[in-house]
Structure 1
């Protein structure tokens, strides 16, 4: 089981953004490769801290993690405990460390000098899922249009910053001459500019392609949840760039008969008056196939049958929800003469007079039980 993100950073769930950032900086400096050369355990802890910060520093991702745990991100090849390499981490979070390691993290933008890796823009798509797919998990293949670097494109060292990604500026102040570094406006910090490109490429050396992407979606996702497929967004210019991500939003398709409430499912089952009197066996459709249920003689309208474990799996791995079958006795609206006479004779018969038992729950008690 993956380690809790809050535990990795040594903070509580109530920690604010500043506390999260401070805790990550402390852990990352502690386990930084420069301080622990050749130490694989330290490198792994460094990656874990980056993974935790990548989620907890983003309010939306943090909210999803607090609600769904690791499953909110693991299902579509997200950060995934080290799926980013060290360069990715330095590129995204290097600015947090300031000058803790002098010239920066191996020239990837961690300190005051060196080019930074440019990341391409993210792509966003919606994927529709049926209740059956949600209940079982599914691997979907989708076509996306993404920008990639054209074959034959070449980049050269930026003449403005000489490949450093930054330019130094000196200003005169009342305290004396101050020197500061700013991101190079020519190359955007990558240290490279376009040298040559094919005719079909755009001004940045990119072309648009159709690509089929495989997305593994875990069981139990909910409508509106977002999953991430790393490196399947748009490419960025430069030989040292990394692609963006593909953000997948889940859209739940409404089922014809089943209604979802969290991990539980509800089904309205209508039976005839004779079936209610005599009892009946019915086959009903659940998300994992047909289920046979037996309704006893004299079953009352409003009875709720709870089928344990026949609902939606918990995305956090806490088991399955239940399928609640709501029994509704259908009262006929049109009777022929013979049928009408039968019921007219039965109105005063003892068996047809309502006699609710003390064990029979009221409507409000049933509603309370259903939501408890």
Structure 2
């Protein structure tokens, strides 16, 4: 039995890690071990899959709570919903309590009888990194994945003779599972003869050895929608591993990372832009031109006497809202920059200014008020 590494250890975080720190840890490791950055490195590819699986569980509050309580056992036994099969809408499947209750009460409640739960090939995960501009406008990205696809030699049947060489499983009669009496209960489990496929092959294909699938590298064009956020997971139905022998393919999950931008910082649908102003600009007032995430420019009027920390709101100049034509707002954050490397004339002018300003308490009200409070503090101490 393979040893399963603790998901927290896989992501190199503590069990009390916050959601934000968990996302940062995942993003750092995903970028380090991504197959595109480690071509031909099987160990890096395996590590990337482990990281993605661990993050898929721990980023979800319900899955994380189940993992913290039950460990890997919470995702075993073939149930749906989790990476190993835990079903958060019930107790799991494949012989779990959900199947037991269905056998007991299915007829009375009008539920199904017979006919197994739909199986599919394994889901696979990959990672793609995009720029903030691409996240704003949406983009189509090519992603490379190594997966299992239908065998071309036998057309996915697993038989050298094609469909004619495939027979209905004699043990489960095509249901893919068998029932067993356990005391008062009737439990359903995957058929041990066909392993849940519902079909058997007499003369296995020499290429895929009867599995119906072979490993292959594929390139898919994935459409990233406008407004997507860092850490978003996109599900592409049917693009996972082929199931083989008539079983539908699994799904592909694409984890999206948005790289940091040199000018903008995003917070939901709003964007922040930090703009440094010269001391003279802030004191006298000015008009500046700033970039907008959509590639345009806009002008912002800065009033005289503007201080560091002042915000200016530009409505509708922010980020795209996912699945909507709306946009957030853009906020200009002002910082007043102190001049450096002054020449003799500049120093002389500033000294004259300081002398003039020192006699006018209204020119620097915060400065004057602060040192007045300092003076009172020491007088009271005395």
Query: In which range does the TM-score fall when normalised by the shorter chain?
Result: 0.5 to 0.7
Which of 170, 191, 198 aligns to 1:159? It is: 170
For each residue in 1:209-239, what CA deviation from the matched residue of structure 2 results, as whole angstroms up to 9, or x when unmatched? 2333232222222222212111110011222
Match of 2:279 in 1: 273
The DSSP-based 3-state class of the residue aligned with 2:135 is helix
Match of 1:54 in 2: none
For each residue in 1:183-212, what CA deviation from the matched residue of structure 2 results, as whole angstroms up to 9, or x when unmatched? 311223331134445433255221122333
- Contact 2:313 2:330 survives alignment (8 Å): yes
Q: Is 2:217 aligned against 1:233?
A: no
Which of 268, 272, 295 aligns to 2:302? It is: 295
- Contact 1:138 1:219 survives alignment (8 Å): yes
1:185-196 paired onto structure 2 within 5 Å: 185-196=192-203
Match of 2:213 in 1: 206
Q: Is 2:256 aligned against 1:245?
A: no
- Contact 1:150 1:197 survives alignment (8 Å): no
User: Using the alignment, how far apart are the partners of 1:121 and 1:229 within structure 2?
Assistant: 13
- Contact 1:161 1:167 survives alignment (8 Å): yes
User: Using the alignment, how far apart are the partners of 1:137 and 1:211 within structure 2?
Assistant: 22
Match of 2:270 in 1: 264
Check 1:335–1:207 CA distance in 2 against 1; reply closer, same or farther (3 A cut): same
Structure 1 position 170, deviation (Å) = 6.0
Larger RCO: Structure 1 or Structure 2 (Cα < 8 Å, ≥ 6 residues apart)? 1
User: Using the alignment, how far apart are the partners of 1:237 and 1:221 within structure 2?
Assistant: 34
- How well do the aligned residues superpose, as a CA RMSD in angstroms? 3.9
Give the TM-score normalised by the residue count of structure 2: 0.59
Match of 2:313 in 1: 306
- Structure 1: gaps (5+ residues): 1-57, 64-90, 359-372
Give the TM-score normalised by the residue count of structure 1: 0.60
Match of 1:320 in 2: 327
Structure 1 position 357, deviation (Å) = 9.7
For each residue in 1:23-49, what CA deviation from the matched residue of structure 2 results, as whole angstroms up to 9, or x when unmatched? xxxxxxxxxxxxxxxxxxxxxxxxxxx
Structure 1 position 283, deviation (Å) = 2.6
Which of 219, 222, 225 aligns to 1:215? It is: 222
Match of 1:122 in 2: 123
For each residue in 1:144-171, what CA deviation from the matched residue of structure 2 results, as whole angstroms up to 9, or x when unmatched? 2221120214333223333232335467
Match of 1:46 in 2: none
For each residue in 1:296-330, what CA deviation from the matched residue of structure 2 results, as whole angstroms up to 9, or x when unmatched? 44433332111112222233648322211111221
Match of 1:355 in 2: 362
- Contact 2:212 2:245 survives alignment (8 Å): no
User: Using the alignment, how far apart are the partners of 1:336 and 1:162 within structure 2?
Assistant: 93
The DSSP-based 3-state class of the residue aligned with 1:265 is strand
The DSSP-based 3-state class of the residue aligned with 1:332 is coil
- Contact 2:357 2:363 survives alignment (8 Å): no
- Contact 2:103 2:186 survives alignment (8 Å): no
Structure 1 position 287, deviation (Å) = 1.2
User: Using the alignment, how far apart are the partners of 1:262 and 1:342 within structure 2?
Assistant: 45
User: Using the alignment, how far apart are the partners of 2:229 and 2:181 within structure 1?
Assistant: 54
- Contact 2:174 2:199 survives alignment (8 Å): yes
The DSSP-based 3-state class of the residue aligned with 2:345 is helix
Structure 1 position 351, deviation (Å) = 9.6
Match of 2:133 in 1: 132
- Structure 2: gaps (5+ residues): 1-56, 63-92, 160-165, 366-382
User: Using the alignment, how far apart are the partners of 1:170 and 1:278 within structure 2?
Assistant: 88
User: Using the alignment, how far apart are the partners of 1:120 and 1:308 within structure 2?
Assistant: 47
User: Using the alignment, how far apart are the partners of 2:269 and 2:193 within structure 1?
Assistant: 53
